[in-house]
Structure 1
Amino acid sequence: MGFDTWTISEGEEFSGGIWCLWNKDVWDVQVLRIHKQLIHCKVSWNKQEPWFLTAIYGSPNPTIRRDLWYMLEKIANLTIGPWCIGSNFNAIKSAQDSGGSSNLSSDTNKFIDCMCNCGMMEVEISGSPFTWQRGHIKRRLDRVLSSFKWAQLFQAAGVKHLSKLKSDHLPILIDFQHTIQDNSNKPFRLLAPWLLHDDYSNLVNDAWNPNDSLTDNINSFNNRAKAWNRETFENIFRKKSCIIARLEGINKSLSFQSNPFLEKLQKELCMEYENIVVQE
């Protein structure tokens, strides 16, 4: 998957399990605690101020999940500095987290009390309001919470609920900073997927003149390849962005009511998305 370092809390049979993966030349990660329902780490990058991250997988069993609330409060008493916790809590905080379709349990109160005792606040989200769906039942079981110090350290951070593909959970992404990329001085790079495109051989033949020098041919190819990538090949990336946007819209619509047409379209778009990802 492209990571050179990791730590794992093993699952039991077909449930549970947490993977934390990172590249050690970018991230400085110190694993402080591993448990069946959490991995607690101290992290930093680019020599910035270190902060704490707790990756969560709450047990589906409310009785076992009590251990999670207890451990989080215990960690809170020992943690000084910015702190962020998140992923699958397997618990809801309000009736809105289930679309108002279920009664709240005593575990909801334990969840809320734990977050208050830990001094945690919601990180702003974008995307579908629910993160889990099975049939017509929808819940917001996944979330990211942070301390006030973490929110101050990463003021531009937000959480994106991405499109559901293989899992019955949506992937959630912590987006630390929205930046505008400047590609004006971007160096030339040959993309390996170009070689899979039917028109690539024509590009090389048109750009290469055996009567010119090697340097002239390379410059000719570079210039033609940039234009070809922009006009011919790069449309797969635009198409991918379009499919993701359509899937997000469908997910939002299906969050509130079922629609056989949209459900069929969702499956077709997911298949098209996977074909594009292979090329990417």
Structure 2
Amino acid sequence: MVAIRRVDLWHSIRHIAQDMLDDWIVIGDFNSFMDSVDKLGGASPSSHTMKQFSDCILETGLIEIPIVGERFTWEKQAVKERLDWAFSNISWELSHPNHKSHYKLRYNSDHRLIVVTSGNSDAGAKKKGQFKYYSAWAIEDSFFEVVKSAWENEEWCIGTIKFKEEATEWNKNFIGSIPKRKRAILKRIEGINWARKNNNSNGLFCLEKELW
């Protein structure tokens, strides 16, 4: 069944590529290898399925987006595999000459998150003084008092202004910097992830899972 779905995927990519004239990027879990080095541990991958995948990418004119950092995207116990890929066509390559793909940490999944960057480090930077709502606020009981205080018996525009001011002050006094706390946790997970490259112990795996 898996093999049939793969063949259907290759047909779909070929069909889309025939009429694709614009910039095109293809990212996701292909559940396939292009080379035997894309798997570490376990049974050897099928040369037939690897050829099918490679032929599809070659015939559709897709180009693998350069990788930065870790290349394996899936792991379980002592087996590591590269199943997730990022490709682009020539048009995308010419208009995004500095783009790179990064396989980030696993977010409650066996697969790493794929992030394609343009090379512009300022992209997505938060502007100074910009208000940002954090979904984590909603799990705090005291946050509902902040909402009630800001909007009760107030018009929408005035309530919005009051909410931004009061929520910002409440976050500062009771929660602290969520991005800072998040970065600290991610840094720990990155450290565990790095340590697991040399020591794939069950203890490190459990600790990583607990932090998520």
Structure 1 distance, partners of 2:140, 2:16, is 51
The answer to whether the Cα contact below 8 Å between 1:128 and 1:251 also exists between their aligned partners in 2 is no
Structure 2 distance, partners of 1:85, 1:151, is 12
- Paired AA for residue 135 in structure 1: Q
- The aligned counterpart of 1:179 is 122
Structure 1 distance, partners of 2:173, 2:12, is 54
Alpha carbon RMSD of aligned pairs, Å? 3.7
- The aligned counterpart of 1:135 is 77
For normalisation by structure 1, the TM-score amounts to: 0.56
Aligned residues: 195
Residues 98 and 253 (structure 1), Cα distance of their counterparts in 2 relative to 1, 3 Å cut: farther
Q: How high is the sequence identity, in percent, across the aligned residues?
A: 27
- Paired AA for residue 247 in structure 1: I
Larger RCO, structures 1/2 (Cα 8 Å, 6+ apart): 2
- The aligned counterpart of 2:200 is 258
The answer to whether the Cα contact below 8 Å between 1:128 and 1:255 also exists between their aligned partners in 2 is no
Structure 2 distance, partners of 1:190, 1:68, is 39
- The aligned counterpart of 1:65 is 6
Structure 2 distance, partners of 1:70, 1:155, is 28
Q: Which of 62, 68, 84 lines up with 1:120 in the alignment?
A: 62
Q: Secondary structure at the match of 1:161?
A: strand
Q: Which has the higher helix share?
A: 2
Map residues 1-280 of structure 1 onto 2, 5 A cutoff: 60-61=2-3, 63-99=4-40, 102-126=44-68, 128-176=70-118, 177-179=120-122, 181=125, 183-186=127-130, 193=137, 196=140, 222=165, 229=171, 233-255=175-197, 257-270=199-212
Q: Secondary structure at the match of 1:174?
A: strand
Structure 1 distance, partners of 2:203, 2:110, is 19
The answer to whether the Cα contact below 8 Å between 1:129 and 1:255 also exists between their aligned partners in 2 is no
Structure 2 distance, partners of 1:168, 1:92, is 17
- Displacement, 1:191? 6.2
Q: Which runs of 5+ in 2 are unaligned?
A: 146-160
The answer to whether the Cα contact below 8 Å between 1:138 and 1:255 also exists between their aligned partners in 2 is no
- Paired AA for residue 115 in structure 2: L
1:199-251 residue CA offsets vs partner (Å, 9 max, x unmatched): 998xxxxxxxxxxxxxxxx99x94x9757745763333212112123223433
Structure 2 distance, partners of 1:67, 1:130, is 24
Structure 1 distance, partners of 2:21, 2:209, is 46
For normalisation by structure 2, the TM-score amounts to: 0.70
Q: Which has the higher strand share?
A: 1
The answer to whether the Cα contact below 8 Å between 2:75 and 2:110 also exists between their aligned partners in 1 is yes
Q: Which runs of 5+ in 1 are unaligned?
A: 1-58, 202-217, 271-280
- Paired AA for residue 184 in structure 1: K
- Paired AA for residue 261 in structure 1: G
Structure 2 distance, partners of 1:162, 1:238, is 18
- Paired AA for residue 122 in structure 2: T
- The aligned counterpart of 1:209 is none
Structure 2 distance, partners of 1:123, 1:152, is 12
1:76-133 residue CA offsets vs partner (Å, 9 max, x unmatched): 2222121111201110112221137634521111211211111111113345322222
- The aligned counterpart of 2:155 is none
